[in-house]
Structure 1
Amino acid sequence: MNSSGLVGVFGGSFDPPHLGHVEVVKSFWENFQNAQELLIIPNHISPWKQNKKTSPELILDLVQAQFQNFPNTKVWDWEIKRETPSYTEATILELLNIKPDAVLTLLIGEDNYSEFHKWKNWENILDKLHSLLVFRRFSESIPPNENLQKFQNKIVFLQNRIIEAASVDLREELPKCILDNRKPIALSNEVWDIILKNRSYT
């Protein structure tokens, strides 16, 4: 795949960002070295999840710290500053409004890939994209989603290193970790330092 001019779109809660996210970003840049940029887009409220307790300001600080050393990797705060659920279609349309010549590729986990046909206006999303990059979370080999058959030529499966980490589990684990001053294995030093400093997730 010719990656020149490609803009990666990687959204999620990032509450908190962890080393599984880092492996996805590493895999993107290993496979698409000539991409123009990768946008990390923390959401405000996912349509599938409950409201966040963590402040947008803290999440942005954590995400910035986590990915600041990757070249051409930027944090875009458009979703997290909106007080409405974050729908991918709206984000893609806004990006194309800002960057009308952008060639967009969307990064999603295998769990979201299996449910992608249930997303709001999912076919319209795929029509707007150059490609859909699916990263591994649990499986060595990701089962195909038969509902996306007609878009098969747009789907690429990344071989990212699997890190057993989930933000929802980390949020439950962090209060005791902070009390014991014990960094979870799935967190980077940069993210852990900010969490400790702010006494967040307690």
Structure 2
Amino acid sequence: MNIGIFSGSFNPVHIGHLALANYLCEYEGLDQVWFMVSPRNPLKEADELMDDSLRLKLVQLAVEGYPKFRASDFEFRLPRPSYTVHTLDELRRAYPQHVFHLIIGSDNWLLFPRWRESERILATTPLIIYPRPGYPVDPQTLPPTVRMTSAPVFEISSTFIRQAIAEGRDIRYFLHPRVYEALCKEDNCTVSQAE
């Protein structure tokens, strides 16, 4: 199968993540998208990320019931710091029957030469770039193993979601309903769940 690896902190996962992954399955030839939840970086401030297990649980809630999505804690079991090149190596070892495609935003593509062993990633893994506002990429300049998707652009960030919840705002339509409900339980939202 063609598997898209969508790696990130998902802090928390929101409808922008889900809609993009849905588009990639339905329009870009991926059989599945695996949401690869990145473990907390020990060098970052503890309050920057929700707990690893909570972020994974929220992704599991968001993808439940859709067979083309999978929540993955694969990187939790790898040595840290976690580098994409090593994750991809381990995925190919563990699942030799699949072809893995790395999904990254256009903002990350512009920084890609600074990634650890970026040339080896390009040589071994097809890349799919999705557009991010303010980070244009000319498809004519891309290497043969890299393609730009014409997925819709979603200007939603996890930072926005966390801030809105902290302010007590009802942002239920920015999140999968089960994720919203779980976050409200976690953060004691004042928004009624009975409506």
Aligned to 1:137: 132
Q: Give 1:102 shift.
A: 2.3
1:105 matched to 2:101: yes
Which residue identity does 1:79 align to in structure 2? E
- How many percent identity over aligned positions? 25
Q: 1:45 aligns with which of 28, 32, 40?
A: 40
Q: Give 1:47 shift.
A: 9.4
Tell me: higher relative CO, structure 1 or 2? Use CA pairs within 8 A at least 6 residues apart.
1
1:190 matched to 2:178: yes
Task: Say if 2:106 and 2:132, in contact at 8 Å, map to a contact too.
Answer: yes
SS of 1:58's equivalent? helix
Which has the higher mean CA deviation after the structures are superposed, 192-201 or 97-106?
Answer: 192-201
TM-score by length of 2: 0.83
Q: 2:159 aligns with which of 158, 163, 168?
A: 168
Q: Give 1:48 shift.
A: 9.5
CA distance 1:188–1:93, change in 2 (3 Å): same
Q: Give 1:55 shift.
A: 1.2
Once residues 124 and 159 of structure 1 are traced to their aligned partners in structure 2, the CA distance between those partners, rounded to angstroms, is 26
Q: 2:84 aligns with which of 85, 88, 91?
A: 88
Once residues 160 and 190 of structure 1 are traced to their aligned partners in structure 2, the CA distance between those partners, rounded to angstroms, is 25
Aligned to 1:153: 144
Which residue identity does 1:92 align to in structure 2? L
Q: Give 1:112 shift.
A: 0.6
Q: Give 1:77 shift.
A: 0.3
CA distance 1:85–1:171, change in 2 (3 Å): farther
Q: Give 1:82 shift.
A: 5.1
Once residues 160 and 143 of structure 2 are traced to their aligned partners in structure 1, the CA distance between those partners, rounded to angstroms, is 33
CA distance 1:83–1:152, change in 2 (3 Å): closer
Aligned residue-pair number: 188
Aligned to 2:193: none
1:55 matched to 2:51: yes
Give unpaired runs (5+ residues) of structure 1.
Answer: none
Q: Give 1:143 shift.
A: 1.9
RMSD: 2.7
Once residues 97 and 110 of structure 2 are traced to their aligned partners in structure 1, the CA distance between those partners, rounded to angstroms, is 29
Aligned to 2:187: 199
Task: Say if 1:27 and 1:158, in contact at 8 Å, map to a contact too.
Answer: no
Give unpaired runs (5+ residues) of structure 2.
Answer: 190-195
TM-score by length of 1: 0.81
Once residues 174 and 15 of structure 1 are traced to their aligned partners in structure 2, the CA distance between those partners, rounded to angstroms, is 12
Once residues 176 and 47 of structure 1 are traced to their aligned partners in structure 2, the CA distance between those partners, rounded to angstroms, is 28
Which has the higher mean CA deviation after the structures are superposed, 17-26 or 155-164?
Answer: 155-164
SS of 1:79's equivalent? helix
